[in-house]
């Protein structure tokens, strides 16, 4: 009996050691001190709560599976929330820059600068009034950077930036709430061909990404634009497409994505010690939509939170909206954004996916590098 108990104790100790080693390998928080997030409503966590804007999500039923509305444009977590949980193992979610509680030591673990309605181009999202476009988000990070340098010193701050994860998820609004905006788009498209408009986006984005590098970022994840022609809003806005995705909208996204991939390769080659990663969110989301049943979904084209429209895409999610009984069965939460269930799949493929999903390496590999 004594021998058996000794064996049980030994086995238990070995199991705990192996578990600790596995968790240490899975969780990269020790290697990655902070998570800095830039982007639009796909990754916003509440910055627009603090500005005068028509683009807000800090009301029910948003956040119904998060515990409360926070300013996240989904029923639960965003993609970056999940990445922070699953691969960085941070105890708390990366906080919004404008929240009054985002002060002191909490900033040393990262800040989220994303804003609903924001875009690469500064005039994107004018229809919402207030929004924080990418140039302004970079300005906000510059403020954070100076704060961190003042508090821990320049050498330690530059080491922190070098080892942190920087992610940028932006570009959809430059099409949806700029080039493709009804009335405005008619004039825009008449005088500005798609190639010229996309060229302006890429030119601006190059400057913004280089500025981020110049401020100390080295591990930089850039997500492309998803299949915007498949979101409920675009489907309802273009009834002639029938049950199909809107071809022209998707063609615009693919045109931008092609140029973006080339830009990322160029910056990776030119900027010393930079590790840029291109996340093919278009491919991942398109795969989910085309093969939704294999992922456990029952609906891939309509809003779970809906008010009007064949696909529930004509009115933003709000207190008067109806919601589907099982959010886990829908790809889309509202006219524009994925559900927590879809975000979890996207995040998982970015964390551990192959080169078809994310290249030249996935997030786990990016964060495991010694720089």
Low-confidence ranges of the chain (pLDDT < 70): 1-30, 183-190
Catalytic annotation, pick one of 41, 115, 302, 303: 41
41 is catalytic: yes
- So what's the pLDDT on residue 90? 85
Q: Enter the DSSP assignment of 45.
A: -
pLDDT tens-digit series, residues 234-293: 999 999 999 999 999 999 999 999 999 999 999 999 999 999 999 999 999 999 999 999
The torsion angles phi and psi of 153, rounded to 5 degrees, stand at 90, 155
CA neighbours closer than 13 Å in the CB half-sphere of residue 305: 27
With 0-12 CB in 10 A as exposed, 13-18 as middle and 19+ as buried, what is 156?
middle
Please confirm, yes or no, whether 337 is among the known catalytic residues. Answer: yes
Q: Looking at residue 16, what is its pLDDT?
A: 46
Measured over the CA atoms of residue 276, residue 153, residue 46 and residue 184, the dihedral's sign is: negative
Whole-number Å distance between alpha carbons of 192 and 175: 13
Secondary structure class of 54 (helix, strand, coil): coil
Residue of 81, 174, 334, 357 with catalytic role? 334
Distances (CA, A) of 54 to 98, 115, 349: 17, 12, 32
Do residues 165 and 221 touch, judged by C-beta distance below 8 A?
yes
User: Helices 134-152 and 154-163 meet at what angle, rounded to 10?
Assistant: 130
**Rounded CA separation 136/149 (Å):** 20
* pLDDT number for residue 342: 98
Residue among 236, 321, 337, 340 flagged as catalytic: 337
Query: d(Cα 96, Cα 49) in Å, to the nearest integer?
Result: 10
Q: How far apart are CA 163 and CA 315, in angstroms?
A: 42
Using one digit for the tens of pLDDT, what is the confidence trace for 156-182?
999 999 999 999 999 999 999 999 987
The pLDDT assigned to 184 comes to 54
Q: Are 81 and 108 in contact (CB under 8 A)?
A: no
Domains of the chain, by residue range, sit at 1-30, 31-368
Scanning the chain, the segments in alpha helix (DSSP H) are 2-26, 79-83, 134-152, 154-163, 172-174, 184-191, 194-214, 232-237, 247-270, 281-290, 340-352, 363-368
**DSSP secondary structure code for residue 157 in this structure:** H
Would you tell me which CATH number, out of the four given (3.40.50.10490, 3.40.630.30, 3.40.50.1110, 3.40.50.300), belongs to the domain 31-368? 3.40.50.1110
Joined tokens for residue 141:
């990070």
């Amino acid at each position: 009996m004594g021998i058996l108990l000794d064996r049980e104790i030994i086995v238990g100790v070995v199991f705990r050691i192996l578990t600790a080693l596995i968790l240490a390998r899975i969780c990269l928080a020790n290697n990655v001190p902070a998570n800095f997030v830039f982007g639009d409503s796909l990754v916003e966590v509440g910055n627009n709560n603090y500005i005068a804007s028509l683009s807000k999500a800090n009301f029910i039923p948003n956040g119904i599976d998060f515990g409360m509305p926070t300013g996240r444009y989904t029923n639960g977590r965003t993609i970056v929330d999940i990445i922070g949980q699953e691969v960085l193992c941070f105890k708390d979610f990366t906080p919004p820059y404008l929240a009054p509680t985002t002060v002191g030591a909490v900033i040393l673990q990262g800040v989220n600068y994303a804003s609903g309605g924001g875009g690469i181009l500064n005039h994107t999202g004018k229809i919402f009034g207030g929004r924080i476009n990418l140039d302004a988000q970079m300005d906000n990070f510059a403020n954070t950077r100076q704060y961190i340098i003042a508090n821990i010193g320049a050498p330690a701050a530059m080491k922190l930036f070098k080892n942190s994860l920087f992610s940028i998820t932006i570009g959809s609004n430059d099409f949806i709430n700029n080039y493709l905006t009804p009335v405005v788009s008619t004039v825009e498209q008449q005088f500005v061909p798609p190639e010229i408009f996309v060229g302006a986006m890429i030119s601006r984005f190059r400057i913004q990404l280089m500025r981020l590098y110049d401020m100390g970022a080295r591990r930089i994840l850039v997500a492309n634009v998803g299949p915007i022609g498949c979101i409920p809003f675009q489907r309802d806005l273009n009834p002639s497409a029938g049950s199909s995705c809107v071809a022209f909208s998707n063609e615009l996204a693919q045109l931008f994505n092609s140029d973006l991939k080339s830009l990322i390769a160029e910056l990776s080659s030119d900027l010393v010690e930079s590790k840029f990663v291109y996340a093919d969110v278009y491919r991942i989301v398109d795969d989910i939509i085309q093969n939704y049943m294999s992922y456990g979904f029952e609906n891939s084209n309509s809003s779970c939170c809906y008010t009007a429209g064949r696909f529930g895409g004509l009115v933003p999610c709000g207190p008067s909206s109806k919601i589907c009984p099982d959010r886990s069965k829908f790809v889309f939460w509202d006219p524009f954004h994925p559900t927590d269930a879809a975000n979890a799949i996207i995040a998982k493929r970015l964390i551990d996916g192959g080169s078809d999903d994310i290249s030249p390496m996935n997030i786990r590999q990016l964060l495991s590098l010694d720089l």
